[in-house]
Amino acid sequence: MPYELHYWPTIQGRGEFVRLALEAAGADYVDVARGCEGEGQGVAAMLHFMESPAVQRPPFAPPFLVDGKVIVGQTAAILLYLGPRLGLVGKSEVQRLWTHQLQLTIADAVSEVHDTHHPIASSLYYDDQKPEALRRAKEFREARLPKFLDWFESVLQRNPRGSAHLVGARLSYADLSLFQLVDGLLYAFPKATRRALMKTSRVAALHESVAQHKRVAAYLASERRIAFNEAGIFRRYPELDG
Amino acid sequence: MPYELHYWPTIQGRGEFVRLALEAAGADYVDVARGCEGEGQGVAAMLHFMESPAVQRPPFAPPFLVDGKVIVGQTAAILLYLGPRLGLVGKSEVQRLWTHQLQLTIADAVSEVHDTHHPIASSLYYDDQKPEALRRAKEFREARLPKFLDWFESVLQRNPRGSAHLVGARLSYADLSLFQLVDGLLYAFPKATRRALMKTSRVAALHESVAQHKRVAAYLASERRIAFNEAGIFRRYPELDG
């Protein structure tokens, strides 16, 4: 039975971290909310899990994964669940925890990216919080973005199995997620991100190598990869790039 | 060997979620940064793990746990690690994932609380972002706070083992963390939180019952419990409570 990924159908958003893992592993999955309502898919099928009182463990928000009777929400928890099943994490508890810790730090960075264009309220338009966004984005570009990338650079540098991967000597979901973070940052803050990547060459190299992974490359070139856009988390508002 | 908790010594902050788990389980632990430098403790001992190039897996930020050779950062990952060891999570994978998912949602709420007083930059003073804080706090009080508590209410309501606990029929670290979230909200936003708790009686009851848990009650009455204060995540700025 294929995995069911439930996420908003027109953006990469947080769902993209799950899509990348499923795609890199060549897993059988359905991107439910992008399917046809006539086939029991579409956004209504997704909202069912969030709104029906019959669901014992309702997700707080998309993305969530449905695997038979198991429903898992929260991006990092989904990857914790999928990692061993897709062969995208090491076998020891310590490796799994470290990979998860990296993922949680990527999630923190993603939340901060979201708040560069929505520092006041997700329910308001960007234009209704633009002065605040300009201030917050400056702080993000100048302090936070370099801090996150520097940390991942030191993680790669200190990996005793080499700096091609964040954990051990093989691709993990954390590598895929760092690729996605960097890819999104390059879209949203091209100037600031290129500047930061000049000082974090291992992170830049990992971004390149994941993009060339056979199945990832095929996915990125397919129509399954939704383009970055200004409804997602990574938005190109040039004024926020300084 | 006692667990070592590393966190800023003068605030509850994110470290408090770990302290509560250790205390509720009666675990042997050292709150390292609150100890004496003369005994190899204090803030310097904490910063060592973050700053020394010799640390292979450096935490991005406190809190982190040191257990022999294992270093775990990120509050939710620490609890994922400690849960089974402290008997604060169920035995099945599904229960553990669900407990973790609840914890991650609490972490999201905590980040949003932080941003009510620091919507622009953690590096700036509150007074330097007060107009923005007033706007963000209004959104938090009116939309987000009730949304989070409503969701936890429905989780309690739908628990087939009864609404005394979030998962199954026994205390888990998610119960402790929800206690702490509500306790902090009552400190920071007393009016808005009491209003929301009127409609989420199961959440209110869980907050009460955790406070009366024997070891938790003893901890809360001890000097080990740092008082809420305006350097932590939950801050009482009356103007932010509407």
Q: What is the pLDDT of residues B69-98, one digit of tens each?
A: 999 999 999 999 999 999 999 999 999 999
Given a contact cutoff of 8 angstroms between Cβ atoms, the answer to whether A88 and A103 are in contact is no
Name chain B contacts of A151, Cβ cutoff 8 Å. 58, 60
Nearest to A104 among B53, B74, B121 (CB): B74
Mutate to test the interface with B, among A60, A122, A128, A138 (most CBs of B within 10 A): A60
| Strand order, beta sheet including A70-73 | A29-31, A3-6, A64-67, A70-73
Give the domain ranges of chain A: 3-86, 93-241
Instruction: Write the pLDDT tens digit of every residue in A6-34.
Output: 999 999 999 999 999 999 999 999 999 99
Nearest CA-CA partner of A34 in A224, A221, A217, A218: A224
d(CA A68, CA A80): 17
Name chain B contacts of A59, Cβ cutoff 8 Å. 101
Count CB pairs under 8 A between chains A and B: 115
Tell me which H or E stretch contains B151.
Answer: helix B145-158
CATH of domain A93-241: 1.20.1050.10
The answer to whether A74 contacts B105, with C-beta atoms less than 8 Å apart, is yes
Nearest CA-CA partner of B18 in B33, B32, B34, B7: B7
Name chain B contacts of A55, Cβ cutoff 8 Å. 158
Nearest CA-CA partner of A50 in A3, A19, A14, A6: A6
Establish if B135 touches chain A: CB-CB under 8 angstroms.
yes
Nearest to A101 among B77, B124, B158 (CB): B77
The first and second tokens of residue A154, run together, are 């030191």
d(CA B36, CA A226): 54
- Beta-strand (E) ranges in B69-138? 70-73
Tell me which H or E stretch contains B215.
Answer: helix B214-220
Query: CB under 8 Å to B19, separation ≥6 — which residues?
Result: B5, B7, B12, B31, B219, B224
Fold of domain B93-213: Glutathione S-transferase Yfyf (Class Pi); Chain A, domain 2 (1.20.1050)
Query: CB under 8 Å to B198, separation ≥6 — which residues?
Result: none
Establish if A63 touches chain B: CB-CB under 8 angstroms.
no
Establish if B80 touches chain A: CB-CB under 8 angstroms.
yes
Low-confidence ranges of chain B (pLDDT < 50): none
Nearest CA-CA partner of A207 in A221, A188, A193: A193
Token pair 């893992």: residue:
A21
pLDDT value for A52: 96
Low-confidence ranges of chain A (pLDDT < 70): none
Establish if B77 touches chain A: CB-CB under 8 angstroms.
yes
Mutate to test the interface with B, among A57, A70, A140 (most CBs of B within 10 A): A57
Sign of torsion over alpha carbons A156, A108, B85, B101: negative
The answer to whether B132 contacts A115, with C-beta atoms less than 8 Å apart, is no
The CA distance from A104 to the nearest CA of chain B, in Å, is 7
The answer to whether A105 contacts B151, with C-beta atoms less than 8 Å apart, is no
Q: Which CATH class is domain A3-86?
A: alpha beta
Establish if A169 touches chain B: CB-CB under 8 angstroms.
no
Establish if B73 touches chain A: CB-CB under 8 angstroms.
yes
pLDDT value for B136: 97
d(CA B68, CA B80): 17
Which residue in A has a C-alpha nearest to residue B122's C-alpha? A139
d(CA A19, CA A36): 19
